[in-house]
């Protein structure tokens, strides 16, 4: 069995006058959401054999805050291919993962993460929630009944967890600026 966890970066700010999208930092609410999700990951005893992440500032800061809540280092491998990657690129990265890795986490951006989660799962109540919206700092865990990552295919997984910050703390609920 292989377990893929997809974590979307937390809420970033559009108010910071950075020159590049890549350099946008998190806002206060995003930092709080990332720590909250990290605490929930610890409460649910989630573990990862490998973490791959976009090197964008908002992803790096998300991981820093998730680690604070999680209470342990995630030691991500930053991969430029993950910056704003589409679902097909993300799937290639998943399928190229070493088979000694049982639990893989990918941390990145929408719309790619959302599209990948929907591409890899066929049905179920959690999938329906993900299809409505995959908010910032949301974690999706997909389970595959395969022994090799290259055997992960469209519709072959089951969405086992879908953790949104607003489900953990109503003050982290949706607003008009969900990017």
54: which 2 tokens?
């976009």
d(CA 159, CA 150): 18
**How many other CB atoms are there within 10 angstroms of residue 64's CB atom?**
15
Give the residue extent of every domain in the chain.
2-9+25-170
User: What is the Cα–Cα distance from 135 to 20, expressed in whole angstroms?
Assistant: 22
Given a cut of 50, the residues of the chain with pLDDT beneath it are 176-179
Could you tell me which of 115, 112, 140, 113 has the C-alpha nearest to residue 126? 140
Question: What's residue 177's pLDDT?
Answer: 46
Q: pLDDT by residue (tens digit) across 123-170?
A: 889 999 999 999 999 999 999 999 999 999 999 999 999 999 999 998
Residue 145 preceded by cis peptide, ω within 30: no
CATH topology of domain 2-9+25-170: Rossmann fold (3.40.50)
* Residue 160, SS3 per DSSP: strand
Order the strands of the 139-144 sheet from edge to edge: 77-78, 50-53, 103-108, 2-8, 139-144, 157-163
């Amino acid at each position: 069995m292989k377990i893929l966890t997809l974590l979307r970066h937390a809420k970033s700010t559009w108010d910071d006058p950075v020159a590049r999208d890549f350099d946008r930092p998190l806002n206060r609410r995003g930092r709080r959401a990332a720590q909250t999700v990290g605490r929930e990951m610890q409460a649910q005893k989630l573990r990862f054999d490998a973490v791959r992440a976009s090197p964008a500032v908002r992803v790096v800061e998300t991981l820093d805050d998730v680690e604070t809540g999680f209470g342990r280092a995630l030691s991500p491998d930053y991969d430029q291919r993950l910056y704003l990657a589409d679902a097909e690129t993300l799937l290639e990265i998943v399928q190229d993962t070493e088979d000694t890795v049982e639990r893989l986490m990918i941390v990145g951006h929408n719309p790619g993460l959302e599209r990948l989660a929907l591409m890899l799962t066929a049905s179920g109540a959690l999938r329906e929630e993900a299809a409505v919206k995959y908010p910032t700092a949301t974690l999706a865990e997909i389970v595959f009944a395969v022994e090799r990552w290259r055997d992960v295919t469209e519709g072959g997984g089951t969405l086992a967890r879908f953790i949104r910050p607003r489900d953990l703390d109503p003050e982290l609920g949706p607003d008009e600026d969900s990017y």
